[in-house]
Structure 1
Amino acid sequence: MSKPTPPPLEGGRLILATIAVALATFMNVLDTSIANVAIPTISGNLGVSVDEGTWVITVFAAANAVSIPLTGWLTQRFGQVRLFVASILSFVVASWLCGIAPSLPFLLVARVIQGAVAGPLIPLSQAILLGSWPKEKSATALAFWAMTTTVGPIAGPALGGWITDSYNWSWIFYINIPVGLVASFVTWSIYRHRESETRKPPIDVVGLGLLIAWVASLQILLDKGKDLDWFNSPVIVALGVTALISFSFFLVWELTEEHPIVDLRLFKQRNFLGGTIAISVAYAVFFGNLVLLPQWMQEYLNYRSVDAGLVTAPLGIFALILSPVVGRILPRSDARVIATIAFVMFAVVFFMRSQYVIEIDTFHLVLPTLLQGIPMALFFVPLTAIILAGQPPARVPAAAGLSNFVRVFCGAVGTSIATNTWNNRTVLHHARLTEQAFAGNPVFRDSIENVQTLLHVSEPTARALFDFQLNAQAAMMGLNDIFYISAIIFIAIIPLIWITKSTTGSGGGGAAGAH
């Protein structure tokens, strides 16, 4: 006989529980981006190169990507509440280990642990919040969840830059300790009597091994491909072959195994398939651009890391303001319509960015970023509601885990593709711009002479200034290409939303009964 579903929480307990769960989620999401800007400082302090230091990001992402889809299986064995609280406390311990790391190998081991234990946090936060709120208000619960997951990656670079500049890089990890302790204490106090039903399915050792093999190898390939010159490197070739073979065996095994470690049969559902692909592609494009924009500002506009972070920070303003509004209107609206409006607005924002010039001022950098917060609020909640619509409570952790895994992994793929494409387009534009820059061209020669006369510099200095401006222009043109392609992609993926069934009147999905 199965355990009865606990009734929704009410009043102050509901508010306190929502804040605690949101804090745990925010702590995790923040850590995916907060270390990025601190890599040069960490590398210098530990006596390693910046290339070696980037493994701090790579190993966290790989371990996290492996553990996210295991959420459903782990929940069945240990229960939602126990697993969630254990993940928070383990994350706190791993953060402390990261902060005290005396060497790079020590830090990398700590980051692997941190990434692995963080995997269940986001999927379980969705499931726990949905079980805490009344079914008719489940869209509001998803809205609160979306606020934390959208603001975290935005706040990370600015917060990480400020902490690194003002204090010590260790504090980007130490700040997790008080947050995690408070979140775990409150969560356990409220939810310990609301534990989900557990059972002990057999361990799919083969599936787990194949999952680790293909996810880890592909994640490392994506992160290190540019540094190692992609498939000109035997290391990248070996990683690619390993990923392809292990992924192929993984698909066959998991679809035929009676107790799979990852339930791929969820993709047979229209809403899960269409919603997951739509949110993942959108997130890949969004996150890839989110990484490129600060990088471009620092390299070519001479922005400090903190200032570049502050320019991207307004993205969170409308996302925070409008997420609760979306939660209120979603139960009375068609989620597909709201998500479509979001994708159209994303396309408009990226088209605005495709008109950037190298003389751009801060206002015109911030304006599209500010406006982008509107579609950010409009696409996370409706698509999550579509994905989880109709899922029985017992399957919510598995569905949330698998969809979040695909989304996060596509974010890594999107970042790699965007970075590589920008580099290739910059090289192409540079080659085209330099076609006329030769000594026999009178226009080029006159330009160099004019620079020498105006700035009172030698010819080699004038040529160096010209080359710097040409590089900046080529990079700007390459980035504009990325923005323009991104706008087209957002329009192109709109049909994915409409292969799903309407969730109007469902209160954000049948998953609201999850506990």
Structure 2
Amino acid sequence: MMKLGFDKWVVVLTVTTAALLQTIDSSIVNVTLNQMMGNLGASLGDISWVVTGYAAASAVMITMSGWLSAKLGRRNYFAASIILFTIASVFCGTSTNVWELVFFRVVQGIGGGGLLTTAQSILIQTFPKEDLGIANAIFGMGVIIGPSIGPTLGGYITDNLSWNWVFYINIPFGILATVLTYMFIKEPEEKMTAGKMDWLALVLLTMGIGGLQIILEKGQEKDWFDSGFIVGMSIAAAVGLIGFIWRELAVKLPILDLSLLRRRRFAVGTLFNFILGFGLFASVFIIPVFCQTILGFTASQTGLLLMPGSIMTGMMMPVVGGLLRKNYISPVWYAAIGFLLFFGFSYDLSAISLSAGPDYFFWPLIIRGIGMGMIFIPLTTITLSDLKSVEIPQGSALTNMVRQLGGTFGTAIMTTYISTRSVLHLSRLSDNVSIYNPFSADRIRQYTGLFLSKGDALMTATRKAYGLMQGGVMKQAMVMTYADSFLIIGGFFLICVPLLLLFTGKKIEAPAHVDIAME
């Protein structure tokens, strides 16, 4: 058994840095899209492929990372992913047109997709089980905090530098992570087996994941199944996913070992990783949009708003890791408390109003941060607890891919819900705006008098009064819509708590690992 030393914590630093590169880049560009559109002369539809291309490529590579780790060697594949990600970041920053940027974002996604899963398997196979909770806690900070600080960092860079620096900032961290990888990360003693590249499976996987990603990212914009493009992508995604599942179950050495799902705990844990991704990304998406579009916060203000909750998550990670090491209670109970806290956060924000200021969000986001900190590490421990050491890269690849898909589903579903629900609330509220409603009639008279006092003619003042009234109604409809959205996300977590009982059975222990001599 290797002693706890400096080299091990350098491994943690290395893999966490790599994980942060991937998770931050999944959200950092969102607040820079407007500046990119102006500088590159692109439309909103064109520039959205900057996000979609990265997400689709990353999802495919997450799925393949277990096979590639076995084929190339874990350290070699991890280092190659960092190098490719860093080089692609350089070319993204120097792009002169939108399609050049989209191409290099796809390349960046290919590199980024290999980082997260490989990083997690390195930790699990490096640390003895009594130290694994702390190691996963530090790594989890990168996974959970990354999507939260991405918009903050992106907003600050955009306001003070330019959109190009959103990509250039990756360069020093990528170089550092590459050097540390070759210096401190070792290959496991127990080698994984990989067969030949299954090109048919790769094509089917790309069709399935890529098509599904495009449907979820572009469906709302294209009016879903009224669009021939979305219908075509749906057929391609269905054929690709069904064909890939069939292929992986039929071959002896698959790219992604779906037979792991026959183990109950791993299958249930994979489901909960989807739920975690749904809640994490959906809430990170909703809060910035609501604060900036409805409450008028700047990008920097919104980022600072999210920071305390992210810090709380980071503080909770080592605490939960230490408690798991003491083995006081089952990890299932920590996860249950985390799910309930997340519901509490969502329920609190479901009472949001137009008068809400930054202080209103502080405690709900602190509660969310504590909840996320209590979910991630126990869920990882439970999910991978029954896997053998050589199965962990494949298991990590599958759970990370499912978590990312959960995030994509959450964002897409909430986007669609907000669009449709706001129309319903607007219609209901607008029915009350008439001269026959004493409250609205009085408000319209006040607005009309205000415009008359500024010199407008009666007809002009009346038209402006109705416009101002309708604008207020629209804002209130959006507030009600976002309040409903928070409640739905929280309710989704609440109803999943009883499903944690599916984890019951034999005592849960940390995943099997390989002790590696670090000199």
Give the TM-score taking structure 2 as reference length.
0.94
**2:483 aligned with 1:496, yes or no?**
no
Given that residues 192 and 390 in structure 2 are in contact (C-alpha distance below 8 angstroms), is that contact kept between their aligned partners in structure 1? no
Shift of 1:302: 1.1
Q: Does 2:179 correspond to 1:185?
A: yes
Instruction: Give yes or no for the alignment of 1:364 onto 2:360.
Output: yes
Q: Is the 8 A contact 1:130 1:514 kept in 2?
A: no
* 1:461 counterpart letter in structure 2: K
Alignment partner, residue 4 of structure 1: none
8 A contact 2:194–2:253 mirrored in 1: no
Cα contact 1:138–1:512 (8 A) shared by 2? no
1:509 is matched with 511
* Aligned counterpart, 2:224: 230
Query: In structure 2, what residue type is equivalent to 1:494?
Result: V
1:81·1:195 contact (CA, 8 Å) conserved in 2?
Answer: no
* Distance of 1:195 and 1:88 partners within structure 2: 23
RMSD of equivalent CA atoms: 1.8
User: What is the correspondence of 1:240-255 to structure 2 with a 5 Å cutoff?
Assistant: 240-255=234-249
The 2-side partners of 1:384 and 1:418 are apart by 26
Seen in structure 2, the aligned counterparts of structure 1 residues 117 and 195 have a Cα distance that, compared at 3 Å, is farther
The alpha-carbon distance between structure 1 residues 415 and 511, as it changes in their structure 2 partners (threshold 3 A), is farther
Contact conserved, 2:273 with 2:402, CA < 8 A, in 1? no
* Distance of aligned partners of 1:423 and 1:513 in 2 relative to their CA distance in 1, 3 Å threshold: farther
Q: Deviations over 1:171-228 (max 9, x none)?
A: 1111111101111101211124657625451222211111100111111111111111
What is the deviation of 1:393? 1.2
What whole-Å deviation, never above 9, does each CA across 1:388-447 have from its counterpart, x for those lacking one? 112111111100001000010110011000111111111111000011223454543332
Contact between 1:396 and 1:514, CA under 8 Å: does it hold in 2? no
Alignment of 1:121-160 (within 5 A): 121-160=115-154
In structure 1, the residue matched to 2:322 is: 328
Number of the residue aligned with 1:476:
479
Aligned position for 2:103:
109
1: distance between equivalents of 2:514 and 2:482?
42
Matched, 1:438 2:428: no
Q: Of the candidates 309, 334, 342, which is equivalent to residue 338 of structure 1?
A: 334
Does structure 1 conserve the Cα–Cα contact (< 8 Å) formed by 2:19 and 2:115? yes
Q: Are positions 1:169 and 2:163 aligned together? A: yes
Residue 201 (structure 2) pairs with residue 201 (structure 1) = no
CA distance, structure 2, for counterparts of residue 229 and residue 184 of structure 1:
43
SS at match of 1:499: helix
Alignment of 1:88-107 (within 5 A): 88-107=82-101
**Matched residue of 2:480: which SS?**
helix
Retained in 2: the 8 A contact 1:82–1:195?
A: no
From 17, 40, 52, give the equivalent of 1:23: 17
Amino acid paired to 1:407: R
Distance 1:188 1:449, change over 3 A: same
Pair 1:485-2:488 in alignment: yes
Offset at residue 259 of structure 1 (A)? 2.1
Q: Tell me which of 434, 445, 451 is aligned to 2:447.
A: 451
Change (3 A) 1:434 1:192: same
Give the TM-score, by structure 1 length. 0.95
1:280-295, aligned counterparts within 5 Å?
Answer: 280-295=274-289
Letter aligned with residue 309 of structure 2: L
SS of residue matched to 1:119? helix
Specify the alignment match of 1:70 in structure 2: 64
Kindly indicate whether the alpha-carbon contact (under 8 Å) linking 1:163 and 1:172 is maintained by their aligned counterparts in 2. Answer: yes
Aligned match of 2:385 = 389
Residues 195 and 159 from structure 1, CA distance in 2 versus in 1: closer, same or farther, beyond 3 angstroms?
farther
After TM superposition, give the deviation of residue 248 of structure 1 in Å. Answer: 1.9
Q: Residue 139 of structure 1 contacts residue 327 of structure 1 at CA under 8 Å; is this kept in 2? A: yes
Q: Which amino acid aligns with 1:23?
A: T
Q: Is the 2:32–2:154 contact (alpha carbons within 8 Å) kept by the matching residues of 1?
A: yes
Match of 1:308 among 283, 287, 302: 302
CA deviation map 1:22-42 (0-9, x unaligned): 111111111111111001111
Q: What is the percent sequence identity of the aligned residues?
A: 32
- CA separation of 1:309/1:512 partners in 2, compared to 1, >3 Å: closer, same or farther? farther
Contact 2:73 2:187 in 1 (8 A): no
Q: Give the match's secondary structure for 1:10.
A: coil
Q: Which amino acid aligns with 1:396?
A: I
1:216-251 Cα offsets, whole Å, 9 max, x none, are 111111111111111111111111121122222222
Alignment of 1:388-427 (within 5 A): 388-427=384-423
Partner residue in 2 for 1:39: 33
Given that residues 130 and 513 in structure 1 are in contact (C-alpha distance below 8 angstroms), is that contact kept between their aligned partners in structure 2? no
Residues 311 and 392 of structure 1: CA distance in aligned 2, closer, same or farther (over 3 Å): same
Residue 259 of structure 1 aligns to a residue whose secondary structure is: coil
CA-to-aligned-CA distance 1:358-408 (integer Å, 9 cap, x gap):
111210122211221100100000001111112111111100001000010
Contact in 2 for aligned 1:53/1:104 (Cα 8 Å) = yes
SS in 2 for 1:110: helix
Equivalent of 2:467 in 442, 445, 464: 464
| Equivalent position of 2:458 in the other structure | none
Q: Residue 3 of structure 1 corresponds to which residue in structure 2?
A: none
What per-residue deviation string (whole Å, max 9, x for no partner) do you get for residues 145-188 of structure 1? Answer: 10111111111001001001101211111111110111110121
Question: In structure 2, how many angstroms separate the alpha carbons of the residues matched to 1:19 and 1:415?
Answer: 30
